[in-house]
Structure 1
Amino acid sequence: MSHPQPYAATDPGSAHAPFAIVACRMCGSVPAAPVTFRGHQGFVIVMRFLSQQGPFCRDCGLATFRAMTARTLVQGWYGWASFLITPITVLVNLVKRGKVAYLGAPQPNPYGPSRPPMNPGPRLLQRPTALIGLAIPLVLVALIVLAVSRGS
């Protein structure tokens, strides 16, 4: 069976033209939703913006959301602008998470190749990386307050 475009298939019981099936870009399962998860890495002088674009099934989307957000929480705080961009990036990802979190369980795509979905792993706040990342701004603020209080 040939596929004229990504995620397109022909219904074998229909004489109609091909219809689009949105399948996960990672595993090929359905249903899937188009969503882009963002990441941010702050460096002292420069910063880097990251993204992973879907469509994702529920499990692959949650795995991508959790990995990118946990890394952002650890790597995103190091710079003046990054100190503001990181929480915005995390909040945007939290909103976009809903697009995949409420999808049904991933099923093999009947019209194309698929493999088992990614393991979403532990929830975001159960990951040591995310907990360390949440502690970083608190420690930085405490150090700034300590430095200011000693200087006055």
Structure 2
Amino acid sequence: MLNNDILRSVRYMLDLADGHVVQLATLGGLEITAEQVHGMLEKDDAPGFVPCNDRIMAHVLDGLIVFRRGRDDSRPPRPVEKRITNNLVLKKLRVAFELKDQDIIDILASADFAVSKTELNALFRQPGHANYRACGDQLLRLFLRGLTLRLRG
């Protein structure tokens, strides 16, 4: 799934203005401007569209975690991921919203997508693990839709 689509979904889900997205990136350790964010939130074919790279997406997701849960000063900051995958987006959203397995299963069920606990656990495994499963675009899209329904009603 495109980072721009994820960014748009998170923005809509939390009803954030462009300035709030800038604040999320700043909390994640990256300074960007409101103009850059506005360009990233444009439709793909609109003039002024700016692609959201993995680095920016990683900082915004890290900032979302800090925004929702607070910063843990007892630990050193984690390094920012160089490559963002659907699995990593799912993991970071799970952490940010403090979701348990059953919460995620319920969220996906509200978006008309049934998943078992075993299938769900495979999405959170390390890529080299024998039971690892890559998160597809459809699953992530439905998860974002279900989480939006949960938060916005």
- TM-score, length of structure 1 as denominator length: 0.24
Q: Larger strand proportion, structure 1 or 2?
A: 1
Q: Larger helix proportion, structure 1 or 2?
A: 2
Structure 1 or 2, whichever has the larger Rg, is 1
- TM-score, length of structure 2 as denominator length: 0.24
Higher RCO (CA 8 Å, separation ≥ 6 residues): 1
